[in-house]
Amino acid sequence: MADQAGSGIDGMLLVDKPQGWTSHDVVARARRLLGTRKVGHAGTLDPMATGLLVLAAGRATRLLTYVTGHDKHYQATIRLGVSTVTDDAEGDVVSTADASGVGNSDIAAAVDALTGHIMQSPSAVSAIKVDGKRSYARVRAGEDVALPPRPVTVTTFRVDQVRREGTHLDLDVAVDVSSGTYVRALARDLGAALGVGGHLTALRRTRVGALDVNDAVTLEELAARVEAGAVVDLVPLDAAAAAILPALPVTPAQAGTLGFGKVLPGVGDALGAPRTRDDHTADAVALDPTGAAIAVVRRSGNDVRPVIVFRPAAAPHRGHEA
């Protein structure tokens, strides 16, 4: 497998991350198993969390920024009546309250207020940088950090079960959220709205865009395949690009133009309304008639320009001079 990886393996690998592992731990393990250093991940999962971690190898790592921007689905458990410094079960308890009097109607109203387009302050122990230093590093150093709120979208916030355990309540919830939303911040804010505090005790990511955890492998399964000498089934570069980005079909001639890194004139309308130069939310993948991913493209006026080229056009054959 190492020889196959080292010879230019490209594609995405969907991993069902185990609890207790950091995302970096998973990447390091995948690098060893695939035999290549060129492996990255999209969308960090905290060590406490389990579920879908999207990895990419080789040229497919250039797609990771697009994976990160997709919406995500989580299953989680929120404990009401206990607040922690990290807003999850890994942090020290900072306050407790009797939540036994919180009714289901109170919960439903507070959940409804946290659904839709909202302003959310990220957890202070997030990886967001403050003056060049990670917020969580500042907190661990004893600093008080208050991150400014930012707009996020909570498409679904559904309470599936309420379990009453003495003075606290455990809520099993399902959420669909935009990129950049912190589920533990939802737990914190739900507890604050109900006046009893709250934190996250379990979190599992089951979907990122169109990518589903049901298609993922565990690290144990991955290791077993490698040790048995079996080929690791990555999502091929072409299929991965088509699953992540809108498709722009191109002719062989147009594919050649994009493959040389040149602008494709007069087809900008195919990518919708013009965006700013650095806005990648309307990018697409140019697919030739065989379904091969040629380039990630972006509208520029009425033209389309390549921003990532996967298959550079081959230099023309000149033959031998007489």
| 21 SS3 class | coil
pLDDT of residue 299: 86
**What does the pLDDT read at residue 316?**
41
Pairing verdict, β 168-177 and 72-80: antiparallel
DSSP SS3 for 236: coil
AA identity, residue 202: A
Fill in the amino acid letter for 320: H
10, 16, 46, 283: the catalytic one is: 46
What single string gives the DSSP state of each residue in 137-150? Answer: HHHHTT----PPPE
Main-chain phi, psi angles of 79, to 5 degrees: -100, 120
Of 80, 98, 252, nearest in space to 172 by CA: 80
- Per-residue confidence (pLDDT) for residue 318, from 0 to 100: 40
- Tell me the mean pLDDT per 10 residues along the chain, length 322: 50 96 96 93 92 96 92 98 93 94 97 98 74 68 76 97 95 96 96 98 96 95 92 89 92 94 82 51 88 92 90 51 32
**Amino acid 312: pLDDT:** 81
Q: Which stretches of the chain are DSSP H helices?
A: 2-6, 23-34, 64-68, 104-113, 135-140, 183-193, 219-227, 237-244, 252-259
pTM for the whole thing?
A: 0.86
pLDDT at residue 4, as a whole number: 40
Q: How far apart are CA 165 and CA 292, in angstroms?
A: 55
Domains and their CATH numbers in the chain: 2-70+210-227 (3.30.2350.10), 72-205 (3.30.2350.10), 245-309 (2.30.130.10)
Which pLDDT belongs to residue 273? 52
What does the pLDDT read at residue 272?
61
- Residue type (1 letter), 15: V
Instruction: Let me know if 46 is a catalytic residue.
Output: yes
